[in-house]
Amino acid sequence: LALMTDWHDWQDTRVDGERLWNRIVALGEIGAIAGPNGELGCARLALTDADREGRDLVTGWMRDLGLTVTIDAIGNVVATRPGTDPRAAAVMTGSHIDTVATGGRFDGNLGVLAGLEVIETLETLDIATRRPVSVAFFTDEEGARFAPDMLGSLVYVGGMALEEALDIAATDDDARLGDELVRIGYAGPFPCPAAAAPHAYVELHIEQGPILEDEGVTIGVVEGVQGISWTELAITGRSAHAGTTPMRLRRDPGFVAAAITTFVRGLTKQLAGAQVATVGRIDVRPNLVNVVPATATITVDLRNTDEATLVVAERALDAEVARLAEAESVSVTSRSLARFEPVEFDPVTVALVEATAQRLGYSTRRLPSGAGHDAQMLARVCPTAMIFTPSVDGLSHNIAEHTTPEDVTAGANVLLQTLLQLADVAD
């Protein structure tokens, strides 16, 4: 094995962009959704059969590379290439391969497959690193079927007890997370939280927003992740006849759901800055044209880079819900589905990503992440940073999600070069 003695050699190594792109296409075919204008998205909600198929394909590639593949009790998969120092903690990369129902081929998948490509490049060029290098995919990053999001990595770092996570019921149906994990054959033997923390964690991900594209920048140097607050509001009124019931007698949860949706939009204008708000789910029952609804269940997703402002937004929402409940004589049950504070990544590792991208000749720009990522959980246990590549039209969580092959290759090259430095840095 050619040890990494000649400083110059390893700096010239690059990934095989075509091999990486072919894997992105192949994985994207599992749960593929074709759009009317040639869009190619995919739907692999966590722990569904499609997720199992994706897991089987990726773990097959990991095993083909001769990697040691471990599966833990929440279904996180970690594939490791040994280093020359068996005692050294691994440098880890990875992301997720579960998607939302209208997902793209890049969200999460890029980070996992680029990690695999980095390892295949080391194998192909016969490069040894002192530290082991591992690539992981974490269970249920999206949180779309089982809340909260970043669930697998949260359990991996000890942020939620395994038993609590296994008992989570799906938001839509009543499937129990632990049962689904067994059903798809990914309830693994390795313990959660993980026995040892990685030496460092770097995740490649698409930006999923418009900043890099708008500024014509190739590499996003991510400084942290904004805070996330997901609340489910179950509103109960009284169904009634749409024609005969006078307005003064109505207890209309549909009206309250709409009023809250409008209120949180107003909140983003009032708080301005980084505040964003989304009512992504509205489930009105019985959902009939001539029936004043009996119930309405909605979710509110509030995010902000500043924790204090996010708390102000949450409190304003609570006060408005109470006001509307009183005015419309409905009852509201509120349930928190996810709550994570903003996370700052390790400045030294962030600077390493930036210097590496610039050394490779790519334009860079520092920015916070608007989306949640597994990196925000790994940041609790080791120095962590992220690399962003541009998203065409800033689109994600949409089957039209796209990143160009050139940008995919650029991101993977920055990941390769960053991991090589971390995997060989003497303690």
Q: Residue numbers of the site for ligand HGY (CB under 6 A)? A: 141-143, 149, 371-372
CB 328 within 8 A of CB 237: yes
To ligand HGY, the closest distance from the beta carbon of 150 in angstroms equals: 6
CB 153 within 8 A of CB 165: no
Q: Which is nearer to ligand HGY, 152 or 198 (CB)?
A: 152
Piece of 3-11, 103-111, 224-232, 240-248 that binds Mn ion (CB under 5 A): 103-111
Q: Which is nearer to ligand HGY, 149 or 252 (CB)?
A: 149
To Mn ion, the closest distance from the beta carbon of 223 in angstroms equals: 17
Piece of 32-40, 105-113, 130-138, 219-227 that binds Mn ion (CB under 5 A): 105-113
- Which tokens in the block code for residue 382? 């080791």
Quick check: 152 binds Mn ion (CB under 5 A)?
A: no
To ligand HGY, the closest distance from the beta carbon of 213 in angstroms equals: 18
Piece of 42-50, 100-108, 230-238, 271-279 that binds Mn ion (CB under 5 A): 100-108
Contacts of residue 346, Cβ cutoff 8 Å, sequence gap at least 6: 200, 379, 383, 384, 385
Tell me the C-alpha to C-alpha distance, in Å, between residue 115 and each of 66, 129, 220: 15, 15, 17
Cα–Cα distance between 424 and 420 in angstroms, integer? Answer: 6
To ligand HGY, the closest distance from the beta carbon of 141 in angstroms equals: 6
Q: Which is nearer to Mn ion, 149 or 424 (CB)?
A: 149
* DSSP assigned state of 345: P
The interface partner of residue 143, options being Mn ion, ligand HGY, none and the CB cut-off 5 to 8 Å by kind, is ligand HGY
Cα–Cα distance between 186 and 46 in angstroms, integer? Answer: 11
Q: Which is nearer to ligand HGY, 141 or 354 (CB)?
A: 141
Q: Which is nearer to ligand HGY, 46 or 256 (CB)?
A: 46
Residue 246, preceding peptide bond in cis (omega within 30° of 0):
no
To ligand HGY, the closest distance from the beta carbon of 149 in angstroms equals: 4
Cα atoms found within 13 Å of the Cα of residue 41, Cβ hemisphere only: 23
Q: Which is nearer to ligand HGY, 255 or 388 (CB)?
A: 388
* DSSP assigned state of 174: -
The interface partner of residue 104, options being ligand HGY, Mn ion, none and the CB cut-off 5 to 8 Å by kind, is none
CB 17 within 8 A of CB 151: no
The interface partner of residue 108, options being Mn ion, ligand HGY, none and the CB cut-off 5 to 8 Å by kind, is Mn ion
Q: Which is nearer to ligand HGY, 143 or 193 (CB)?
A: 143
To ligand HGY, the closest distance from the beta carbon of 100 in angstroms equals: 7
Among 108, 220, 253, 411, binds Mn ion (CB under 5 A): 108
Contacts of residue 398, Cβ cutoff 8 Å, sequence gap at least 6: 41, 102, 104
To ligand HGY, the closest distance from the beta carbon of 168 in angstroms equals: 15
* CB atoms inside a 10 Å sphere around CB 167: 12
Q: Which is nearer to Mn ion, 186 or 388 (CB)?
A: 388
Contacts of residue 299, Cβ cutoff 8 Å, sequence gap at least 6: 230, 231, 232, 233, 279, 280, 281, 337
Cα–Cα distance between 160 and 158 in angstroms, integer? Answer: 6
* CB atoms inside a 10 Å sphere around CB 365: 17
Among 51, 72, 98, 107, binds Mn ion (CB under 5 A): 107
Q: Which residues bind Mn ion (CB under 5 A)?
A: 107-108
